[in-house]
Amino acid sequence: MARITVLGGTGYAGGRIAREAVSRGHQVTTVSRGTPSEPIEGAADRTGDVTDETLLAELLDDADVVVNALAARGSMVGRVVEVSRTLVRLAAEKGVRLGVVGGAGVLKVSEDGPRLIDTDGFPEQARPEASEMIEVLGLLEDSDEALDWFYVSPAAGFGDFNPGERTGSYRIGGEVLLTDEEGGSDISGDDYALAFVDEIETPRHRRARFGVAN
């Protein structure tokens, strides 16, 4: 049993990760500014703003693993990277493993191809958020060796607009976007959470990123 704190634990990705972790018997705390509209039975809810460093430090004191499932949208544009900088420092100091819900934009479309974010078809409205999550990855890659981190890029079609179904399986990739036979790239919210919690329970990627897709 691990103590898992999910920053953004009421969101699309964070909520599913929290739910999956609770179902496997972990001690889970979700953190969000608003009161959860659908509280997860078995998880503790903590209401607070993670831009507050004192709160972050307190949260990390009670965690084995902290999950960053924040989204660089609305008032958090430009601030997810700031919070991540603090998280990287505190998690290294306190020996807490840091898992990050990353974006697909950083993945290359083929071994020698451009990153998804640099392709013409990449949605313009998603570019700022994707760029910020690439910046977050840079912070991890440049972090002190003491920090144990992993960063999980979902398939391109991941998101609350496309929750999909739980299939109970997923494929793991590296720096290249995983696609299916028709060229699609999807992962359901629940299968993404499955992969994320599998990595928490059985670490296979230390100081590394990977991609997941159905």
Ligand X SMILES: NC(=O)c1ccc[n+]([C@@H]2O[C@H](COP(=O)([O-])OP(=O)(O)OC[C@H]3O[C@@H](n4cnc5c(N)ncnc54)[C@H](OP(=O)(O)O)[C@@H]3O)[C@@H](O)[C@H]2O)c1
Binding site for ligand X (CB under 6 A): 8-14, 31-34, 49-51, 69-73, 76, 101-104, 133, 154, 156, 158-160
Residue among 56 and 96 whose Cβ is closer to ligand X: 56
Tell me, what DSSP letter sits at residue 35? Answer: P
Smallest gap from residue 159 Cβ to ligand X (A) = 4
Q: Which residue is nearest to ligand X (CB)?
A: 11
Residue among 96 and 102 whose Cβ is closer to ligand X: 102
User: Which residue, among 203, 179, 7, 192, has the nearest Cα to 91 in the 3D structure?
Assistant: 7
Cα separation, 99 vs 148, whole angstroms: 9
Residue among 9 and 99 whose Cβ is closer to ligand X: 9
Q: What token pair was written down for 119?
A: 């392709």
Smallest gap from residue 71 Cβ to ligand X (A) = 3
Burial-class residue 189 by CB neighbours within 10 Å (0-12, 13-18, 19+).
buried
Smallest gap from residue 190 Cβ to ligand X (A) = 13
Tell me, what DSSP letter sits at residue 177? Answer: -
Cα separation, 117 vs 150, whole angstroms: 21
Smallest gap from residue 24 Cβ to ligand X (A) = 20
Q: What token pair was written down for 37?
A: 């509209």
Smallest gap from residue 99 Cβ to ligand X (A) = 12
Residue among 96 and 189 whose Cβ is closer to ligand X: 189
Burial-class residue 35 by CB neighbours within 10 Å (0-12, 13-18, 19+).
exposed
Residue among 96 and 117 whose Cβ is closer to ligand X: 117
